[in-house]
Amino acid sequence: MTRGSSWRWWVASFVYWTLSGLAAASEAHSVGGGAWSDVLRTSLVAHCLWAPLTLLVIRLGLRYPFERPHLVARLVLHAVGALVASLARAAAIYALDPWVGWYAQRPDFFDVLEHSLLYNPFTYFTVLGVANALYYAEQVRLREGQLARAQLHVLKAQLHPHFLFNTLHSISALVHRNPDGSERMIARLSDLLRSTLDAATREEVPLREELRSLQLYLDIQGVRFADRLTVRRDIDPDTLGAHVPHFLLQPLVENAIQHGIAPGSEPGTVTLVARREGSELRLEVRDDGLGLKSPPEALTRSGGGKGLWLTRERLTQLYGRDHRLELRDAEGGGTEVLLALPFRAETSA
């Protein structure tokens, strides 16, 4: 129960006990035949006295739920709570009786207390059961969130070595053939790793930051492929502040280069597209290389390679069903990967 939501709990509590009081008044009128004004007054006041107590019991239940290591202590604590609630209600009814009129002749306080002790502990533990249900539902939600974050971290940890090994392999192929180029690749790799570590604790980054990291990777591949690789960008400026998963584009561009451009002998082009369509951010990575060796449906079922599989898993963890990842033959030849994500832009301070 947070401070910001406390007024909702007050409203919910009063609405519940008012409805409960109306139901009890209707039953009392049907059975006892008393005047509506009398049964409404006595029943509504008696039930609404539970409204503030309900909030106290729920707060107490959320703070001290029934948990195995403290079960006996919590039982004693709530038994005392039930006695205090019964005493409070007995005192309130005894004090208000001259105005509300529960009794034709006000009895002794201990008679009122005895009646209260017979009835109110049951209500106390019923409300406490609701509080415990809320507590454990929140615990399940928190654990599911922690599990999803842990899975994301595992996926990112798998993704980075996958990229690193491929890049080091590219550098090793150039060490003797192009020492200056391999030196530039190592420098860019260093910058890229530094950028990756800076964003290691964030699951999402603005698209402009993701593109900066991607450019470092493209600089590395530019040294390796020289004039054989051209990169075109069609980036809507309005999308630069949109949130995207960190390291999202690199494995897709890597696939385009490794499987589309590298196996051929002709120069190739990788095209990046980002635009907003309604509530979605659409990203496209296209190459004009060799195209898919298998039907897109078969690649989708098999995961389409480790980079694509990891990307798909990360998107599922982050967005559930609110995303799309489509692998297909590009128009005019080559391969195209289409991503559709919820558009969430960074807010200005």
pTM above 0.75, yes or no: no
The confidence band for 349, taking pLDDT boundaries of 50, 70 and 90, is very low
The share of the chain scoring above pLDDT 90, in percent, equals 40
- Residue-level pLDDT at 192: 75
Residue type, 171: I
**Please, what's the largest Cα pairwise distance for the chain?**
107
Spatial separation of the C-alpha atoms in residues 95 and 246, rounded to whole Å: 64
Spatial separation of the C-alpha atoms in residues 116 and 81, rounded to whole Å: 14
> Is-contact 225 267, C-beta < 8 A?
no
- Residue-level pLDDT at 175: 78
- Residue-level pLDDT at 114: 92
Spatial separation of the C-alpha atoms in residues 84 and 56, rounded to whole Å: 11
- Residue-level pLDDT at 156: 65
Residue type, 73: A
pLDDT in tens, 124-143: 999 999 999 999 988 888 87
If you average pLDDT over residues 308-318, what whole number do you get? 82
pLDDT in tens, 153-175: 666 666 667 767 777 877 787 77
Instruction: Please name the residue ranges forming H helices in the chain.
Output: 6-32, 36-48, 50-63, 71-100, 109-174, 179-198, 207-225, 249-255, 296-302, 306-319
Strand order in the sheet with 335-342: 229-235, 268-277, 280-287, 335-342, 324-329
Structure tokens at 16: 């519940």
pLDDT in tens, 234-291: 999 999 999 998 888 888 898 888 888 888 888 899 999 999 999 999 999 999 887 7
End-to-end alpha carbon distance in the chain: 29
Q: What does pLDDT average to over the chain? A: 84
Spatial separation of the C-alpha atoms in residues 184 and 220, rounded to whole Å: 7
